[in-house]
Amino acid sequence: MIERSLDIHRANPSAAMVGALSNHAAKGAACQGCEMHSLGNLREIARVCQMGEPLPASLAFWLSKSLETFLGQDCDSLNEAFGLRNKKGGVSWRWAANIQARDEALYNLAARHFAHLSASSQAAEIHKAALRYATSRWRFDRETETMNSDYRGTPKEFLWLAFKSGATMPLCQRRLRTILAEKRSQARL
């Protein structure tokens, strides 16, 4: 079920939040290890509020349960009430989410545009493309909120997503190889 919601998240982050809710809302406040769902739920709530749309029942239920957890003093912070916990080693949930978004974009870049190459060659090509992008278009693209429509279906689509994630970019080839290997092993599970 989690794999299905992650697939939805790749295609449409807002849809992922609603899908995640159907699986976890019945559990009350955010469950252990569901930072991705919690973050998505919060992003979806923000989007719905900004659009002036009514809050879907599943989001309203999740939000009320999380707030009750905090107000009932069952936890020490809103982060904890919403299921946003720091990772081991002191990595904040924000930074971990940025890294996850970047790694997902890099994996998709390799899978869609360099699938015919070995993992080492994929890392080399992504590294070259990221360096090129960093020194050319990124200096303009970093100021935009939305991706240039000309990037759709090209490697720049995933480079823009990786750079816009807020995580460190560009990366060395060795780190790229590690990310690609980790994502492949996760995909097999």
pLDDT in tens, 144-178: 999 999 999 999 999 999 999 999 999 999 999 99
- What integer pLDDT is reported at residue 23 of this predicted model? 37
Residues 131 and 172 in one domain: yes
- What integer pLDDT is reported at residue 29 of this predicted model? 42
Of 43, 59, 85, the position where a domain reaches its end is 85
Residues 53 and 97 in one domain: no
Distance CA 35, CA 80 (A): 10
Kindly state the percentage of the chain with pLDDT values over 70: 81
Query: Where does the pLDDT of residue 86 fall: very low under 50, low under 70, confident under 90, or very high at 90 and above?
Result: confident
As for how many domains the chain has, the answer is 2
53 pLDDT higher than 60: yes
Residues 184 and 97 in one domain: yes
- What integer pLDDT is reported at residue 155 of this predicted model? 96
Considering only residues 13 and 44, tell me which one the structure prediction assigns the higher pLDDT. 44
Considering only residues 39 and 62, tell me which one the structure prediction assigns the higher pLDDT. 62
Q: Taking a C-beta distance cutoff of 8 angstroms, is the pair 151, 121 a contact?
A: no
Residues 101 and 178 in one domain: yes
Distance CA 94, CA 39 (A): 9
Comparing 25-29, 69-73, 74-78, 134-138, which segment has the lowest mean pLDDT?
25-29
Q: What is the pLDDT of residues 19-28, one digit of tens each?
A: 333 333 333 3
Of 66, 85, 104, the position where a domain reaches its end is 85
Residues 118 and 182 in one domain: yes
Residues 104 and 152 in one domain: yes
Residues 97 and 148 in one domain: yes
Of 67, 85, 103, the position where a domain reaches its end is 85
Residues 68 and 145 in one domain: no
Q: What is the mean pLDDT of the chain?
A: 81
The boundaries of the domain holding residue 20 are 2-85
DSSP-derived secondary structure for 77-107: SHHHHTT--PPGGG--HHHHHHHHHHHHHHH
- What integer pLDDT is reported at residue 35 of this predicted model? 63
Q: What is the pLDDT of residues 113-144, one digit of tens each?
A: 999 999 999 999 999 999 999 999 999 999 99
Distance CA 189, CA 173 (A): 25
102 pLDDT higher than 80: yes
Residues 26 and 108 in one domain: no
pTM (2 d.p.)? 0.67
- What integer pLDDT is reported at residue 17 of this predicted model? 34
- What integer pLDDT is reported at residue 170 of this predicted model? 95
* Four-CA torsion 167, 172, 175, 177, nearest 10 degrees: 120
Residues 56 and 97 in one domain: no
- What integer pLDDT is reported at residue 34 of this predicted model? 61
Residues 37 and 109 in one domain: no
Residues 181 and 120 in one domain: yes
